[in-house]
Every structure is written in structure tokens, then in C-alpha cells.
Chains A and B, each alone.
Chain A
Amino acid sequence: MNAVDGSDHYEAAVEGPSPSLLVIVLDTNPHAWALLAPTLPLSKAIANILVFINAHLAVNNANQVAVVASHSHRAVWLYPRPPSSSSSEDVEMTNDQPPKLDDANKYRPFALIENSLLASLRDLISTTAEKDVATTSTTQMAGALTLALSYINKATVLYSDTTSSSKPATNAIDAPENTTGLQSRILVVSVSGDLAHQYIPIMNTTFAAQRLRIPIDILKLAGDTVFLQQASDTTKGIYMHLRSPQGLLQYLMMAFLPDQMARKHLVAPTQEVVDFRAACFCHRKVVDVGFVCSICLSIFCSPPEGAICLTCSTHLALGDYGAKPAVVPRKKKKKRRVNGGGGDTPSARGTPVPGE
């Protein structure tokens, strides 16, 4: 109460609510959403996510949001819309915008985001050709995560520029706990299953996020991905697999809305058992036990051809791998034990063998 020193003053400065940036990576894999359609159609999920976005923006005036779609063959920005989009599109957009945006019953920033997001999503769906869908059944998660990270980086630099004029960017990254700057996090709404073929890029983005202290939250609506579990585990994010996707909004509001500041006081739902398996570099198979190059730590499901590492081309000595273990006669050992007399010396004894 009667603190004489000025320390309470400094604390107050740090405690101030800092804005947070939420980047949502939305998995728009058509195959997976088609499977989900009976329980949770895409339109409904989008509506829920929009409410969630609005809630995030409502928490703080300075909160920002960005949405990336991880589509079947490319990763696309949904919000903010990339400036590269041709002018003809903009003209087309203005045709249907004004009546909606002048609605006095909606907070204008919410309406702006909603319109822009829906328009770009419609764009994305209409430009998806059938052959794109037919050729692949997965999603470009790694690309989308990379886009998200680069956006966060840009926003962080921009933010520290405007507020404290010249805070070096490197400082913000290496600071042990930068509570004053922009708090960023990534939320992945994932519906696709296996991502083994993107193992390396996903792990790279994960480690980048870990270094930047950006939690990657995973909301799994369907399928199961080993690597996204690992991503959320290493970055101290939240992993949730919804058994009943109908309640998406409540899950979003309860578990995923609190930002880093609030999470300090809350018990976050996380995976108790994390699947730490890796994918091999040669066939992209998820393996329990594999072979690791002693030089570059690449993982292989079987010894590479000619015992040369596919990544760093080191010649690997496999030793006696594959040879049958030789049977060692025991007779000699027995004799020696008898000679030792009583065998009370505790040190030199091996594991007791049954039947001795």
C-alpha cells in the first residue's frame, strides 16, 4: 500500500492490455468438408468463425485479425485481401457492398471484415477447378502457416514502429517475455487428415513459431494429424479434437478466445498424450522406429540405397545391421565364476540370467 519506491509505477505500465493479432488458418479442403457436411457444413462453420472473429475484435480496440485459407492446391489470403487482386474485382465488389455496409445495426468494422472475408471465400471456391480437386486430397497447410508467420512478422514490426518509434525488431524476438508488444497467435481450424508429405515444412514453421513465441492453436474438426499435435505442443498452444463439431462456437469462445495474457490465469485444454512420431524423409511415412543419419539427423524408414544419406550425401556405415546375432557360448563364463569363489563381489556382475 505505502510502497515508497517507484516500482509499482513500472508494473502498471507493463500490465496494460496489449493488442493481440489472431491469424486464423482455415483448412478449406473440399474433400474433408464434403465428409463433414452432414454434421457441420462449411457455411455454418464460417458463420461461427465470423462470430468468433468479432468477439476477438470486441475484446480490444487495437486487436487485429487475419485469415488464410489452406486450400487443396494453394494457400490464399481471405482477409485482408491481397492488394494484387485486379481492379475489375473491386468494381464488382462495390456493386453489392454499400447497402450492407450502411447497416446501422452492425458495428462497422465487423461488417467490413465479414464482407471482405465472404467475398474472397466465394472467389476462392468459384475459381477452384474440378481437376484441382481431383488431383489432390490434402491441403496446403505448410504454405498457409508460412503465410501466417510472415504476416505476423510484418505486423509486429509495423506495430513496434508506430508505438515506440524505433524498437529494433530483433529485440522483440529475443526478449524473454515481450508482454508490451503485439501478442500474436495462430489458430488452425483443421479438417484434413494426413499431412505426412509436408512434414519438413510444417516442422520448420513450428520451430520458427516457437522461436517467435507464437502459440499455434489447433482446432481439429475431423481427421487426425500427428504433426499439428506436435506443432501445438512445441509452441505451447492449445490442441482440441472436437467430438461434436456442432458446438464449434462454444469451443471457440471458451478455449481459443483467451489470448496469452488471459491464458496465464487459465488452465488451457491440451493434449495429454502427444504423438511424437516423425515422418521419414524418403517415403513420407510416419514411423515409430527409424534410421537417423548421424550427420544431418535426417530420418529414414529403411536404410537408404547404397547407405548414402539422401539429404547430405554422407556415406553411412551401417555396421552389422541386418546380420543375425551370433550365439555366444556360456561355458567359459560359468567356469570363471566358480574360480571367483562365492561370487560375492557386487561390482563385476552382469544381469542375472534365468536358469543360471
Chain B
Amino acid sequence: MSVSSLASFEYLEGLPGTTFRRLYLQPSTTLAIFRRMLPHLAKTFVMAMLYMTKPIPLTDLDLWVHPSSKRQPTEALSLLSRLHIVHITARTRDEPQVVSLTKAFGSSLRLALTGGGDHQSFGVPSNDSTTADVDLNFLDDYAQMQWEGILHFVVSSVGEGMRQNTQGPTPAVKQLLESGNLVTRARHSGGGITQAGFSFLLQEANAQVWTLLLLWIKNAKQMEMDSVDVLSFLFMLGSLELGRAYSTTTLTDSQKQMITYLVDFGLVYIPPSSKNQFFPTRLATTLTSDATALRSVAAGFDAAHTNAAAQKGFIIIETNYRLYAYTTSPLQIAVLSLFTKLTTRYPNMVSGRITRESIYRAISHGITSDQVISYLSTHAHPQLLKASAAHGGGPVLPPTVVDQIRLWQIENERMKATSGFLFKEFENQQEYDGCAKYADEVGVLVWKSDPKRMFFVSRVEQLKDYIKSRKMK
């Protein structure tokens, strides 16, 4: 549901099948993909098929599913086959379609559940007891410092004069940010933030980490690293336990090379005294967590900090568009000023208004209304959450404000482009009806016009199969 899962997801979908097969060799990767990338119903299907000896006919699966909800199962199945998790046989005349888990995925997931094997993919703990001083607080502080350093670097170019005394990120990270188009150095002397940079700032921490990591994976090819190696290492990090030392001796060469970058990001910590062990920080261990789990983790993350810089929720927004933010962090204030007209600053809070002009300015920077709204709701003050809970779990933000922000965006957006495929010139009404209905069920239909017998879909693979099988009949 979160932005992050979508981002990493789209990247994974684009990978070729051979990459998947190699990724699924590692049980930890399999577990992480299963846990993080799949929608709920897809997980159910995978688990049901996990210990089946024979492929299950598609018709049986249909029977299992409630007749009223047809859309979600088909979506789940198509996603599973796109991620090469299940294999669905082609539709032929004499044999029914059957579904089975792909061999690599099935055996790895079974191995992950039962343990055993000799893959060492869940991290080899280090038994050196030289680092007693590394505790959770220390790791949290370390991660926070590194990550805020990166964020400050991005935000400092907004022009609010927020240059802090923290030393910025390492040159390698700066270069990465530039190559990912999050900041540019071209025009102004101090560099400038780009549209991508703005949307990066507004994401939640976990999404930010993924954005940066994906950028880095894309760059990894230039650095002559294997993207499968890199990905499986990241997924392994997600399965490690916070506050434990792990050994670097069993890592591959490219993974060892990688870990130095991860130190820059604040994902792992290597104690200076012993170079052959590393500690994952909270940023790393929550890589593969769900959005809901993250929120509680984030609470723990912030509770560990005594400075009020990153309190969980600090924003109160009223129905009259007034906004009060209880924060002293220049970073948060700078982010808020991207879409708010801040008027007053007190020792412990700032206040301002969300106005049409301020939202326009944000939109012209490339920030979407959804980003603004999700930022506001993730950082909503406990008082707002309390009020929404009192009304039986209603919306956290005042609906008028949410709607108005959307309307302000729509004012400028008269047109929306969707890439896809147009189907037209059907032979008869029946064929058109069948195809359009199928497209709608599969959830790819974007637009249709019955009198013209045309429709537009966003994805074509399943429809192709369907039309082929219609032709056969």
C-alpha cells in the first residue's frame, strides 16, 4: 500500500525471468518477496499450493474463491505469474489450465519455513564479543544521523538557508543523488533540488531508503556488480535481527564491496575495532516490513531519540486550513514550507496555512496532492488520531482539506495520459462484449465505448491469451 512497495515492485516486475530464477535460489529472498511484494490473497494462494504435490486446475481454484469477488483473485494470479512465482499452463483445447508454483520458488519457500539446507542466507552471526558498547540506542542514533545527513543534503538546496553543522554525506552518496536526479548541481551555485527530489523528501523513511537503494542498484551495473547479488543481500538484511553482530566473512566479494556503501546510507554499522563484523540498523531490518508494521517500528525508532527532532506525529491541521507543527527540526520545517505558507515560528512550533498558492507552488515543483496528503497523515499529531478514533476510525485529516487539496491539483490537470493499448474493429458485438467484459474482470480496462466498439486497456498479456483461446473455439 505504501509508496515504497510500489516503487520496488515495479522495478522487480521489469526484471527478466532468469534473474527471478536466480533470486529465488535464496530462501531469505523468497521469504522477503513473498512477505513484502504480494497482496494478501496472493499469499493465501501461494501458501495453499506450497505443499501440493500436483498442479491444481484453475477451475478448482475458481471454486475455492467466492463467486462475488472475481477481480482480486485474477489480479493476484496475474501478478504471481508476472513475478514468476506460479506457472499457469497455456489454454489448450483438451487439457484444462493448471497452476503450480515454480520449482525454485516453491522449494526455497519450503526451505525458509522449515529451516535446514546449507544456504546461509539468513546471515551468519558473529561470535566475537568485542563490541559490547553497541546497543540499540547507539545503532538508532547512528542510523538517524547518517540518514538525516542525506536528507539535509537534499533539502539544503531549497534555499531556506538551512545549512547545518552536520557534515554532509560522503561524495559517493552525493554523486548518487545527482545521478538519480534528486539534486542538480548545474544552475545555482549551491545546487538545486529537482522534482524527483521533492517527492523523495515527502515519502516515509522506508520508502526513501528503497528509492535510494533502487537508484543505487540501477547504478550498480556501472560499478560492475551483479544486481541479483545486490538484491539478495538487501533482502537478507531485512531478515536480520536488530542489535546482533553478523560476520562479513561469508559474504561474496561484491557484497563486501556493497557494505561500504550501506555504511554511508546508515543501513549497517561496522565497528572500527573489528572489521569483520557488522550490525544492521533499524533502517535495514525494516526493509522488508509491511506498511503497518513500519508505523509501529517508526514509533520505536523515534522513541529511542530524546531530541524531539523527529517525533512521530507533530502536525495538527484544522478544517480552516490552518496548520500547526510542533517541531524544531529545520528539516521538517523545510519540508513543510514546500507546500505550506508558514507565518510564525515559535520556540517549539511553527504555524501557517495551506493556501491555494502554496499548493500551486508545490505542484509546480512536481509534488502531487497525494504526496502532500500522505505526508500530512503519516505525520499527524496524536490528537488528530484520537479524534478520528473517537468517530469510529474515520479519516485522520479533515475531509474538507483533503478534498480541497485534490481539487486544487485538478484545477490544473485537465488531461491525464495513460499508456496502453487500444482495441477496435471487432468482427461482431458478441466478440466485443466478451473481450471488454474479460478486460474489466481482469482489471486492466481503462476506457470503453460501446457504440464504437472500442476499448482501451493498460495491460495486454492476459487479454492476448484470452482472444487467442476465443479464436480457437
With A6-B399, A253-B48, A265-B72 already in contact, the answer to whether A105 and B290 are too (CB < 8 A) is no
CB of A154, distance to nearest CB on chain B (Å):
17
Please provide the chain B residues from 348 to 382 with a CB less than 8 Å away from any CB of chain A in the complex: 370, 373, 377, 382
Among A6, A105, A267, the residue within 8 A (CB) of B119 is: A105
B396 partner residues in chain A, CB cutoff 8 A:
13
Instruction: Give B282-306 as 1s and 0s: 1 = Cβ < 8 Å from A's Cβ atoms.
Output: 0000001111110110010000000
Q: How far is the CA of A346 from the CA of B281 in the complex (A)?
A: 88
CB of A171, distance to nearest CB on chain B (Å):
7
CB of A267, distance to nearest CB on chain B (Å):
6
Residues of B in contact (CB 8 Å), total 73
Contact call A107/B41, Cβ cutoff below 8 A: no
Contact call B292/A17, Cβ cutoff below 8 A: yes
Please provide the chain A residues from 248 to 270 with a CB less than 8 Å away from any CB of chain B in the complex: 249-250, 253-254, 257-258, 261-262, 264-267
Contact call A107/B382, Cβ cutoff below 8 A: no
Q: How far is the CA of A99 from the CA of B416 in the complex (A)?
A: 59
Counting chain A CB atoms within 10 Å of each CB, the highest count among B51, B396, B416, B446 belongs to B51
Any A CB within 8 A of the CB of B44: yes
Contact call B293/A162, Cβ cutoff below 8 A: no
Contact call B118/A105, Cβ cutoff below 8 A: yes
Instruction: Give A4-29 as 1s and 0s: 1 = Cβ < 8 Å from B's Cβ atoms.
Output: 11100110110111110000000000
With A105-B122, A163-B296, A267-B63 already in contact, the answer to whether A54 and B114 are too (CB < 8 A) is yes
Contact call A257/B122, Cβ cutoff below 8 A: no
CB of B204, distance to nearest CB on chain A (Å):
13
Contact call B403/A5, Cβ cutoff below 8 A: yes
Any A CB within 8 A of the CB of B90: no
A122 partner residues in chain B, CB cutoff 8 A:
none
CB of B344, distance to nearest CB on chain A (Å):
27
Any A CB within 8 A of the CB of B65: yes
B52 partner residues in chain A, CB cutoff 8 A:
250
CB of A252, distance to nearest CB on chain B (Å):
9
Counting chain A CB atoms within 10 Å of each CB, the highest count among B64, B390, B416 belongs to B64
User: Which of B28-36, B81-89, B184-192, B209-217 makes up part of the contact surface?
Assistant: B28-36
Contact call A6/B403, Cβ cutoff below 8 A: yes
Among B109, B121, B406, the residue within 8 A (CB) of A4 is: B406
Contact call B115/A111, Cβ cutoff below 8 A: yes
Contact call B47/A59, Cβ cutoff below 8 A: yes
Contact call B47/A257, Cβ cutoff below 8 A: yes
Among B241, B292, B299, the residue within 8 A (CB) of A19 is: B292
CB of B390, distance to nearest CB on chain A (Å):
8
Among A55, A111, A163, the residue within 8 A (CB) of B47 is: A55
Contact call A163/B113, Cβ cutoff below 8 A: no
A250 partner residues in chain B, CB cutoff 8 A:
51-52
- Size class of the A contact interface (CB-based, 8 Å): 35 or more
Contact call B65/A59, Cβ cutoff below 8 A: no
Please provide the chain B residues from 102 to 126 with a CB less than 8 Å away from any CB of chain A in the complex: 109, 111-125
B395 partner residues in chain A, CB cutoff 8 A:
6, 9-10, 13
Contact call B393/A180, Cβ cutoff below 8 A: yes
Q: Name the prevailing secondary structure of the A interface residues.
A: loop
B34 partner residues in chain A, CB cutoff 8 A:
58
Contact call A51/B293, Cβ cutoff below 8 A: no
Please provide the chain B residues from 41 to 92 with a CB less than 8 Å away from any CB of chain A in the complex: 41, 43-44, 47-48, 50-52, 63-66, 69, 72-73
Contact call B389/A17, Cβ cutoff below 8 A: no
With A166-B386, A265-B66 already in contact, the answer to whether A107 and B402 are too (CB < 8 A) is no
A163 partner residues in chain B, CB cutoff 8 A:
292, 295-296, 299
CB of B319, distance to nearest CB on chain A (Å):
14
Q: How far is the CA of A178 from the CA of B393 in the complex (A)?
A: 9
Q: How far is the CA of A166 from the CA of B383 in the complex (A)?
A: 9
Q: How far is the CA of A12 from the CA of B385 in the complex (A)?
A: 17
Counting chain B CB atoms within 10 Å of each CB, the highest count among A10, A104, A114, A258 belongs to A104
Q: How far is the CA of A266 from the CA of B386 in the complex (A)?
A: 34
Contact call A166/B389, Cβ cutoff below 8 A: yes
Q: How far is the CA of A167 from the CA of B27 in the complex (A)?
A: 38
Contact call B389/A168, Cβ cutoff below 8 A: yes
B65 partner residues in chain A, CB cutoff 8 A:
265-267
Contact call A266/B51, Cβ cutoff below 8 A: no
Q: How far is the CA of A107 from the CA of B113 in the complex (A)?
A: 8
Contact call B122/A264, Cβ cutoff below 8 A: no
Contact call B121/A104, Cβ cutoff below 8 A: yes
Q: A5-B406, A265-B66 are in contact. List 6 more A-B contacts (CB 8 A).
A: A4-B407, A10-B395, A51-B114, A60-B290, A107-B28, A257-B44
Residues of B participating in the A interface, judged by any CB pair closer than 8 Å: 1, 27-28, 31, 34-35, 40-41, 43-44, 47-48, 50-52, 63-66, 69, 72-73, 109, 111-125, 127, 239-241, 250, 288-293, 295-296, 299, 370, 373, 377, 382, 385-386, 389-390, 392-396, 399, 402-403, 406-407, 410, 416, 446
Give 8 pairs: A residue, B residue, CB < 8 Å, sorted on A: A6-B399, A105-B120, A107-B27, A108-B240, A165-B382, A257-B44, A257-B48, A264-B66
Residues of A participating in the B interface, judged by any CB pair closer than 8 Å: 1-2, 4-6, 9-10, 12-13, 15-19, 51, 54-55, 58-62, 102-108, 110-111, 114, 162-168, 171, 175, 178, 180, 249-250, 253-254, 257-258, 261-262, 264-267
Question: Which 9 pairs from chain A and chain B are nearest by CB?
Answer: A106-B115, A62-B293, A61-B293, A104-B120, A6-B402, A167-B389, A61-B289, A265-B69, A104-B124
